[in-house]
Structure 1
């Protein structure tokens, strides 16, 4: 599934709910469905800076694609990172770097987050793109 197809799927999933309390519950459910991050990856190095909550992001390369795993100590934040992983994990560094993450605006996520959570969302996207850039540089050598 392409990044845009995954984004469209997320948009469709969120459009089933008009009420933001239901959408928050969907975020929490998505976070709870996510595979738990192995304790060995919960390191300072994997912590995302700029998030009020603790968010760990692990990236590995598989057959030229980047596979992400993450964990957070906050339920909604865990759901947000689960959404980003759903859309971006399993794609090449170039696909990730060139992705227009329109689903964030389409589902109204940014405007329904507190300013600190919005900053955290931006930090998560930035860290995912930093991993993509690092893997791209590594493969070019």
Structure 2
């Protein structure tokens, strides 16, 4: 159930053999994201459970079954900012129901991230996914 944007990232990861290159690509994805306005870096948007500081500002457009999900995010760590960009590619533009059906563990597993992130980073990704799912379910 991956979006075209996420499929593009997965294809790039398939092409990059070396994990150093993949890490650099993740960081580049994070650098390409627009910055989150400082006004939104507040406790309500902060994601608990991350080793780095992470903020996710979700937006829902529309109502009912056709409502779509998007978010802005930022972190003080470049690799985490890149992970936010990957999650954005995975979820942005999906309906709220589709967000709940995404198997983030499986999709991120396609990138091999589970094997190459520290336990703290993996916990942070899980916390971000949980926040996204909670917003979509609300």
TM-score by length of 1: 0.89
How many residue pairs are counted as aligned between the two chains?
Answer: 133
Aligned to 2:135: 131
- Is 1:120 equivalent to 2:119 in the alignment? no
- State the TM-score, normalized to the length of structure 2: 0.91
Specify the SS of the correspondent of 1:77.
helix
Runs of 5+ unmatched residues, structure 1 = 135-141
Question: 1:91-106 alignment to 2 at 5 Å?
Answer: 91-101=94-104, 102-106=106-110
Q: Which portions of structure 1, spanning 4 or more consecutive aligned residues, are displaced by more than 4 angstroms?
A: none
Once residues 114 and 82 of structure 2 are traced to their aligned partners in structure 1, the CA distance between those partners, rounded to angstroms, is 14
- Counterparts of 1:123 and 1:8 in 2: how far apart (Å)? 22
CA RMSD of superposed structures (Å): 1.3
- Mark the runs of 5 or more structure 2 residues left unpaired by the alignment: none
Cα distance in 1 between the residues matched to 2:102 and 2:118: 24
> Which residue in 2 is equivalent to 1:86?
89
